[in-house]
Amino acid sequence: MSITRHTAVAGTFYPADSLELERQLDGFLSHVSIADHDGVPKAIIVPHAGYVYSGPVAASAYARLLPARGQIARVVLMGPSHCVAFRGLALSHAEEWETPLGMVPVDRAAYGALAHVPMVGFLDEAHGPEHSLEVHLPFLVKCLGPVPIVPIVVGDTPSEIVAQALEALWGGPETLIVISSDLSHYLDYESCQSTDRATARVIESLDSRGISVDGACGRVPVSGLLRLAAARSMSIHTLDLCNSGDTAGPKDRVVGYGAWGLYEHPLRVFASQLVTLAKAAVQYGLDTGTVMPAPSAGPDILFQPGAVFATLKRQGQLRGCVGSVTAWRSLGEDIVENAFKAAFRDGRFLPLTREEWGDVSLSVTVITPSEPMSFADEDDFLRQLRPGQDGLRIEDMGRQALFIPSVWESLPDAKSFVTQLKAKAGLPPDHWSPTFKAWRFRAVELK
């Protein structure tokens, strides 16, 4: 017999009767207005209160999944623990989850992808009474059908561990990520609005460290998603923001709700082709000693203006990195040229050899247009930087230097990041002057 996780809050958080539940879901979804250009999100952040309170907000996200019915084949469902205190990420032994709309299978094979992620283990006690995952199943069945789920309850866990787990399960367009969280709890109406607007600004900026302890009950899984979303240069759209005082409750003690959709960068659709082109350029250089001709066929994106950095690493250590700051030629030509130069013309290293090539990893980082920064002094400049997100170019005294966003991995705070960038430019670590200029940019790293 299969192991079933039975409903815990059917009849309280949402109707236990299937017909009544269907009617309520239809009502919520029918009131959502979606623009023609809205795409299907890769990930959503949605509330988990009783449907009369948060159902309309959740529907604003779930309605955007309807075009993907039949395409999304797995849902990673992650929410906070309200009933059991523990550390780490809790999996369930259940093979299926019960809902009034039928059984939902669990993709237990997906658990294998988490084998290398620390703080992950089975804890059925955390799943049994928990509502933060269960309340989403009727919406998922209604919008996508009974697609397999990967249910994870989140305890006291560092956001980087959550991000690692999400990355291990990320997949492609067949996988949807659902993060369950309400916002502030039991404030008066005006205080809730102010607090939730501040939390929304943090979420909209993909700031994984900015959500206050009282800002969201699902702060930990939300922060983990934001951390990964920033690293993947995803875009985010606020879909709805309100509280129980706007829906079905009094205004003296309210709970806040928000819904967000997160979208992959379009370049990721072509990641494999772009990296393959860079590898071909290196191989061509090994074979001929010259730069490979730019591609003459392929997806349109290859022939649009683009700026890239090609980075080679051997056994985790930098082996070459050359790139363009601005898009002055086609993306395809820039990839071919810079991959060749990273392998054979980076003055910090000897030219790459055939013996080394088998041990070398190669990534392509596509640079977005840079924007000039405005600041009053160095402290103001440092406060504006977004660790893990911003690439940075500085210029002063006739010297300049650039770091792409991945450098934050080894220089995680703004002060050390800027100090090392100054050193790269040949400026003293404490250098500052009224003529100091800086530009920041985003980057999409493809491996």
Region 250-265 average pLDDT: 95
Q: Which amino acid is at 409?
A: E
What is the C-alpha to C-alpha distance for residues 366 and 327, in angstroms, rounded to an integer? 10
Tell me the pLDDT tens digit for each residue of 413-425: 999 999 999 999 9
Query: Residue 37: its pLDDT value, please?
Result: 59
User: Are 361 and 375 in a shared domain?
Assistant: no
Residues 224 and 100 in one domain: yes
Q: Categorize the per-residue pLDDT at 444 as very low, low, confident or very high, splitting at 50, 70 and 90.
A: confident
Same domain, 182 and 293: no
**Chain-centroid distance, C-alpha 327:** 25
Q: Are residues 272 and 260 both part of a single domain?
A: no
User: Is 272 found in the same domain as 256?
Assistant: no
Residues 428 and 355 in one domain: no
Residue 82 and residue 154 share a domain: yes
Burial class, 44, CB count within 10 angstroms (exposed 0-12 / middle 13-18 / buried 19+): buried
Question: Which pLDDT does position 36 carry in this prediction?
Answer: 59
- With beta carbons less than 8 A apart as the criterion, state whether 177 and 164 touch: no
Which position has the token pair 């989403």?
136
Round the average pLDDT of the chain to a whole number and report it: 95
Last residue of a domain, one of 223, 244, 264: 264
Mean pLDDT of 287-293: 97
In this prediction, residues 160-176 reach a mean pLDDT of: 96
Q: What is the pLDDT averaged over residues 112-128?
A: 97
What CATH number is associated with residue 404? 3.30.1490.150
Query: Of 350, 367, 384, which closes a domain?
Result: 367
CATH number at residue 48: 3.40.830.10
Structural domains counted in the chain: 3
d(CA 46, CA 262): 12
Domain co-membership, 226 together with 375:
no
For residues 203 and 330, state if they share a domain: no
Poorest-confidence range of 50-64, 241-255, 266-280? 266-280
Residue 38 has pLDDT above 80, yes or no: no
Reported confidence tier of residue 289, pLDDT bands at 50, 70, 90: very high
Whether residue 105 is found in the same domain as residue 167: yes
Residue type, 230: A
Percent of the chain with pLDDT over 90: 87
Query: Does 204 lie in the same domain as 272?
Result: no
Query: pLDDT at position 35, please?
Result: 73
Domain of residue 111 covers: 4-264
At residue 152, the pLDDT reads 98
Q: Are 56 and 241 in contact (CB under 8 A)?
A: no
Whether residue 13 is found in the same domain as residue 101: yes
For helices 51-62 and 137-144, the axis angle rounded to 10 degrees is 40
| Domain final position from 340, 367, 394 | 367
Which pLDDT score is estimated for 335? 97
* 181-202 per-position pLDDT tens digit: 999 999 999 999 999 999 999 9
Query: In 252-353, where does DSSP find H-type helix?
Result: 271-288, 331-344
Instruction: Write out the E strands in 229-378.
Output: 235-243, 254-263, 307-314, 317-323, 360-367, 371-372
d(CA 215, CA 213): 6
One-letter amino acid at 296 equals: S
